[in-house]
Amino acid sequence: MTVVLDPTSELRPETRERVARPESLNGLTVGLLDISKPRGDIFLDRVEEKLTGLGANVKRFKKPTFTKPAPVDLRHEIAVSCDAVIEALAD
């Protein structure tokens, strides 16, 4: 993994701005990120059913552990393969 130094004034956050909220989910790919908390998958299974019913394509992702942020590679994979993401927290 390459780490670079920020060449800017750092007055703005490093993360890029969010894309505009889509008008409809029809035909879009929606990522579901399971953060690996117990039973989160049951909740997301139901969300997937609902989204598929709305015409969305669903891709499932899972963090290795809920105790740490998602690895940068996983975030990149989600960013390049999805139009929208739902992150689920269950407990």
Partner 1 sequence: MPDTNVAPLPDGLVAVVKKDCPTCVLVAPVLAAIAESVGVTVITQDDPDFPQSADWVRHDADLALSWHNQIETVPTLLRVNNGSEADRIVGWSQKAWEEFTGLSGLGTDLPEFRPGCGSLSVDPNLSDELAVRFSGSTLKSRRIELASLEDDIEAMFERGFSDGMPVVPPTEARVLRMLEGTSRSPSDTVAVVPPDLVECTVEKVAINAVMAGCKPEYLPVVLSAIEAACTDEFNMHGLLATTMPVGPILIVNGPIRHEINMNSGLNLLGQGNRANNTIGRALQLVIRNVGGGKPGGVDRATQGSPSKIGLCFAEDEEGSAFDTFAESRGYDRDASVVTLFPGEGPRLMFDQKSRSPESLTKHFAEMLRVNVSPRMVMQMETVIVMSPEHMARYRDAGWDRARFLAELEALLMVDGDDIIAGADGIEEGMPAFLAGHQLPKFPPGGIHVVHGGSHAGLFSTAIAGWVSGTTGSVTITKEITR
The residues that touch partner 1, with contacts defined as CB under 8 A, are 1-11, 14, 16, 72-73, 75-77, 80
Cα–Cα distance between 26 and 24 in angstroms, integer?
Answer: 6
User: Is 33 in contact with 61 (CB distance < 8 Å)?
Assistant: yes
Least distance (Å) between residue 81 CB and partner 1: 11
Closest distance to partner 1 from the beta carbon of 87 (Å):
18
Q: Could you tell me the smallest distance in angstroms from the CB atom of residue 73 to partner 1?
A: 5
DSSP classification of residue 55: T
Pick the closer one to partner 1 by CB: 47 or 74: 74
Structure tokens that stand for 30 in this block: 């929606």
Q: Closest separation between CB of residue 10 and partner 1, Å?
A: 5
Measured in whole angstroms, how far is the alpha carbon of residue 37 from the centre of its chain? 15
Query: Given the complex with partner 1, which of 42 and 80 has the nearer CB atom?
Result: 80
**35: exposed, middle or buried (Cβ count in 10 Å: 0-12, 13-18, 19+):** buried
Of 54 and 79, which has the nearer Cβ to partner 1?
79
